[in-house]
Structure 1
């Protein structure tokens, strides 16, 4: 197995999981890890000894195991042949009754954010470890029966360098020393699925507290200790408030002992809900200044992982086709909790801006799937469904259901479900039965239309061609829009906002037919459909609305209405219904970066990455000037947001150079590490910096944040040497951590550099299939997405990229990312065709 974690193992099929679950009951795991050499720069492996006690009905089965070296294995004391290990599976022949298997192995340290990830902090050269056992990764840490419905309690013993601290699922106690090695024992856990098993070990900085009898902890790398201390009170406050609200909602206490939140390097996801020891990507510690939007998103992540302690941890889906029982619930409850119980009471507007388009796009792609019963044939396939459908769509549907049946039935069913299946596994049918038993009535129609049916409806404004009255809402099923998905009869209750001279008027409209009249809409007025975003549909603005919004949106203060208006515009653009030039006019007329509702945080990235490449010449300068035009009136977070937006659209290197001087920035904005690298990255992209300057800046501040930003900036340079340097990170010729791989991909493809990057379209098609031999899991798919040639909209490039789908050696995770990104590319090409935009070959 390489350092990136690639192997010849195969993923567990659902049918195999069912057979093994019928055969086995797992009693316990005892795990001993020897990490004593973990601070040695040359360390590649660690010692792992697993004792698994289980009962069998009698028959053949297998243990999941992906070691660097298998040293020995025994079943009931009898040796097993190490050579029998094939494709990550160690065969076991069992009789009826209780058994014990013991496995000793050398396991690989990984640098892709999975298994036992080892990261060396460039700031101080110290090594930090954390475990991520999710989706096929646990067998690179311990021998196990790796499926969600074979739960068992765990005990863990650890040997580690004396200066390290250790935390994990159970409370860790330092029991003694052995020379330069410290000995640790972790308390036995409640029954856990294998994918929850974690360990965080290294010279981490710890902060402790307690609340309501629960010991609370936070940890980070030593180089981030200052940020952790500064953020600790807010993080602890969010944790206390979330515990109180979740306890109030469920009446069921948190069941997993201590609650530690570890901020760790190179993390692929936002966070992972390991019971007792949640891991977060440490970019959420904010050593530099951030906007309120970033804090809202972090708060929702904190509450999301806490909600998982009930949905996912206390009761776990039997198989990954019920992934929504984890993620949709945690998404819905996370945003609900912070909106209702913390200072972030505008969270629903932020959630709509941050998550809605992600989910809508996913539900219109060829890879769309139902929220529930998504047909996950194996764990690898299931990993691809951790997408906007499982999160954004599923949570919206749950919000709809809670509104429809009321909290008494909704929460009553949830509590019954959690109580019946405590520490066990369950299915969608189990939860629906609990809801119906709590008074929800027959839910078969609702679950069939919203949870078991893929695809979405589209809602469009329809006006008479003569400009007179009679405006309507047109409801279109997925096939009527040329989208994948299954037809279903879905009724929508939406708020419709209409802009009039004195302001906005709103009304609630039942959309139960293909055409629904909207009364009293003045000719040419802006119409925002689903203005409260209460339903799941792609609500599309028409050209008249975009034109009217130029005068209305700047004086609209309601953050939810502003968010919905922008989402209507973005959905209309995504459907090739809106002229890019007209949308740019809206952006210029209503500078989004002055939006107190944080709309601009996400519209900004969409504008520069999707809209401007299709806009008329000079549009980038127009947007830049409009952004700078609101700087004088901007205050607080808005000043930082304006400067960031101006950097993204700057074409004048003199302005960027002036802002690189601490005295040259606008008042109220500091030149911290984040802003410095934003400025340098933009200078690199427009050819106004060079590799030497970027290298010198990194050498002066070699933090992880700076290292990733340096990778992005170098890859953005408009020269062949930089592009070749970036490409080495896709092919793993340069073996770097996961976030640097992604940064290189994002920097490689820059608008306006198509002539330089054109050869890499063909190289992407040629080289991508082989990446499965050098990496696996999350990073295999993430690299395929990061390096996708998103700037090449010409016919020849599109033909090459579509041909990649016919390649027999493209693994399913890579194919899924290619399919999704091709859909985005094809939709941009459709906009270009519809409005006569010439694309660069």
Structure 2
């Protein structure tokens, strides 16, 4: 049962001073046991409330069988001070929603991670599972003797096979975390104040070579970010240590568990990381560390303010990765690999204000479905604009907010109060314009004679840079302007091509006047600033997605300009977006020509032997070329990167040659190799292979990462005709699986939507079937999270159909 906002408010008014002691036994392979004592105060003695606990097979309350239904343990006739003891046996899961068990195919070792998050802690421990009922947690864990156990608190000691951890400060239940397994660890003592704090990186035993390879850079990023945060935030670091662990089975890219951050283990790649992957790793490390203050120290009251946690951490992640960790291309990466997801989310019917009203998020399932790229990418961009608008007052307001609400809960109103206390600007008016509205503005340039005129279509204030260029697209001037209701004549830039928002400072679409657009199409590759080139490439792709630029014209720009691109992030992120457009919008009849042009660009860049571009170009070429013999020869070369090897094997499989899958799977027995092999087998273009893959996909036995791997291979580039029988079955079979699954799997099913070059009639048939399913009500209704994802797919499909 999804917790209702009304229930959460009632319980928050009733319960105080929660303290939790938990013992977990992870030694059994079938299930795990939990024994918990929860102490708390009650503001209204005699009242009733409940604890959450989902999936218990033998729940006992104070030693007696507990009345237990719909994941809740009733608590009756409370006193002023209460102590409740609960013991239970709970199931392991493989979908990342709860105590997730993974067996590493490389060595057969088992790993168990208690992934929590939005109303998932109740699948691991009994708790008051809402963010504004914080608790201290004193944890002990019994585990197999060769395991290492990690948790939120500082390790206090080990008694045989039982690990004991110091009590945590008050944290929300969704931040509770334990992780057990034969981790390989690399640790150090990080200078802090007058002493040091224990820091470490941890990974699966089979990932030891990769951890040792990357450890010095991981440590450097961690240390520089930590020293930066502790110098700019007034509040001290709130926890006693800082561990980071590459976990198998995590549904998020990472999760900000206090003192012990979890990262998806795919981040620790076997192959050579691309420039975007390296940049993203630095940004994610900085993002999760920002949460130690913004999210963990100060937490939202209800989920409508989860945007503030995530937007702030996302903004700080990119900014601090640049200013502290030395990843100077952070905002270039954000412009092409992050912000586009926000623009796309903001165009759908499901768009919502960045700061949603609490009353609209009536329960946790609705809140989870609302947790999207408006929360992350758009919020990030808007906070960056706010920082430019406020200057130093922004950080002053953030520090006041953190100090005022340390170890407590706060709302958007509290945050705005703190900002307003530090500036004379109308922060609340700015928030109404940016945070309480939906959609985004368009910045438009026109000409009055030779004078560029800048205006906005929309209602939000923008502080931006307008850059001016000569005929060869070399920047010759720039001006900072505040865009409001009135058009701005740029007299000093007369006669020049102009690009507003050249530093990508705001969140708005761009539409250029004829002179400026002509200059861009002729000289895009000659623009000196990688950030401005990134902005312009996104504008080009946005035009294609909006059917204002056809795919042939887009391919021409790729051929003229992307083949000359030598900035690794601009090349890689643009190539990724181009392939996304081709996959979603191309007709089968034009696919071969488009893929050929894209793969030729990748081959030209790869043949240039630029080390900075090699990994991205190789992956793009291996994923798109139709040259079977070239792929086979490539696979035989020595020292081919493992990620590229799998791309080659998967492409060969999709072209009808699956002979290389089993040898490669035997060669690479890692988790990544297991997933890659699933993708390759699902890509084989025969009815028999597709039927087998479909049964596996919809059978309910796959973990979330395995499901995504199979789905990514199933919908092959050139396989529209072959997969036609399964396109509409995706709706019926996916709905059946969604009803048997949890939140995270519902989202994964939705993201497995059949995006591939389909005939328009097939797209319309799919649209009709999807719309019919979403129109159902009552017992036939699509589950909340899956429905949100499918509604988004429906909107995107409508845009493709024009």
TM-score by length of 2: 0.93
5 Å matches for 1:709-720?
709-720=676-687
Shift of the alpha carbon at 1:418?
Answer: 0.9
Structure 2 gap ranges (5+): none
2 CA distance for matches of 1:124 and 1:713?
22
1 CA distance for matches of 2:355 and 2:784?
20
2 CA distance for matches of 1:549 and 1:721?
49
Match of 2:776 in 1: 807
Query: Does residue 13 of structure 1 match 2:4?
Result: yes
Match of 1:47 in 2: 33
| SS of match in other structure, 1:752 | coil
Query: Does residue 637 of structure 1 match 2:643?
Result: no
2 CA distance for matches of 1:758 and 1:529?
44
On the 8 A contact 2:293/2:402 being kept in 1, the answer is yes
On the 8 A contact 1:203/1:221 being kept in 2, the answer is yes
Summarize deviations over 1:710-761 as a string: whole Å, max 9, x none.
1111222222222223323442x15122111011122222232111111222
1:249 corresponds, among 221, 225, 232, to 232
1:208 corresponds, among 172, 184, 187, to 187
Structure 1 gap ranges (5+): 1-9, 38-42, 478-487, 664-669, 831-841
Summarize deviations over 1:215-257 as a string: whole Å, max 9, x none.
1011111000111111111111111111111111112221110
Shift of the alpha carbon at 1:519?
Answer: 5.0
1:103 corresponds, among 68, 86, 92, to 86
Query: Does residue 675 of structure 1 match 2:660?
Result: no
CA 1:650/1:542 → structure 2, altered by over 3 Å: closer, same or farther? Answer: farther
5 Å matches for 1:449-598?
449-462=433-446, 469=450, 471-473=452-454, 475-477=456-458, 488-491=459-462, 493-501=464-472, 503-505=474-476, 506-513=478-485, 515-517=487-489, 519=491, 527-540=498-511, 548-591=519-562, 594-598=565-569
1 CA distance for matches of 2:564 and 2:14?
59
5 Å matches for 1:343-422?
343-374=326-357, 375-407=360-392, 409-422=393-406
Match of 1:783 in 2: 749
On the 8 A contact 2:471/2:519 being kept in 1, the answer is no
Q: Which moved more, 1:60-69 or 1:541-550?
A: 541-550
2:320 corresponds, among 303, 318, 337, to 337
2 CA distance for matches of 1:592 and 1:157?
56
1 CA distance for matches of 2:352 and 2:546?
20
Match of 2:292 in 1: 309
Shift of the alpha carbon at 1:628?
Answer: 2.0
5 Å matches for 1:695-714?
695-714=662-681
CA 1:113/1:586 → structure 2, altered by over 3 Å: closer, same or farther? Answer: same
Q: Which moved more, 1:438-447 or 1:324-333?
A: 438-447
Match of 2:630 in 1: 655
Query: Does residue 32 of structure 1 match 2:15?
Result: no
Shift of the alpha carbon at 1:495?
Answer: 2.3
CA 1:779/1:750 → structure 2, altered by over 3 Å: closer, same or farther? Answer: same
Summarize deviations over 1:471-495 as a string: whole Å, max 9, x none.
5445334xxxxxxxxxx45445342
Please, what is the CA RMSD of the aligned residues? 2.2
2 CA distance for matches of 1:718 and 1:521?
56
CA 1:385/1:155 → structure 2, altered by over 3 Å: closer, same or farther? Answer: same
Shift of the alpha carbon at 1:521?
Answer: 7.4
CA 1:251/1:337 → structure 2, altered by over 3 Å: closer, same or farther? Answer: same
1:816 corresponds, among 775, 788, 795, to 788
On the 8 A contact 2:234/2:403 being kept in 1, the answer is no
Match of 1:67 in 2: 55
Shift of the alpha carbon at 1:550?
Answer: 4.3
Shift of the alpha carbon at 1:659?
Answer: 0.7
Query: Does residue 757 of structure 1 match 2:723?
Result: yes
Match of 2:249 in 1: 266
Summarize deviations over 1:437-479 as a string: whole Å, max 9, x none.
1224431210001011121112344469xxx7465445334xx
Summarize deviations over 1:330-380 as a string: whole Å, max 9, x none.
011111111111221221111212101011111111111111135322222
Query: Does residue 297 of structure 1 match 2:262?
Result: no
Match of 1:768 in 2: 734
Shift of the alpha carbon at 1:518?
Answer: 5.0
* Shift >6 Å, 4+ stretches: 520-523
CA 1:390/1:635 → structure 2, altered by over 3 Å: closer, same or farther? Answer: same
Match of 1:480 in 2: none
1 CA distance for matches of 2:576 and 2:727?
23
Shift of the alpha carbon at 1:551?
Answer: 3.2
1 CA distance for matches of 2:467 and 2:156?
58
Summarize deviations over 1:175-194 as a string: whole Å, max 9, x none.
322xxxx1111111101100
1 CA distance for matches of 2:115 and 2:506?
35
CA 1:493/1:626 → structure 2, altered by over 3 Å: closer, same or farther? Answer: closer
Q: Which moved more, 1:398-407 or 1:299-308?
A: 398-407
CA 1:100/1:611 → structure 2, altered by over 3 Å: closer, same or farther? Answer: same
Summarize deviations over 1:143-185 as a string: whole Å, max 9, x none.
11000000010011111111111110112244322xxxx1111
Q: Which moved more, 1:797-806 or 1:391-400?
A: 797-806
2:711 corresponds, among 742, 745, 767, to 745
CA 1:508/1:498 → structure 2, altered by over 3 Å: closer, same or farther? Answer: farther
2 CA distance for matches of 1:550 and 1:502?
10
Shift of the alpha carbon at 1:15?
Answer: 1.1
Q: How many residues align?
A: 783
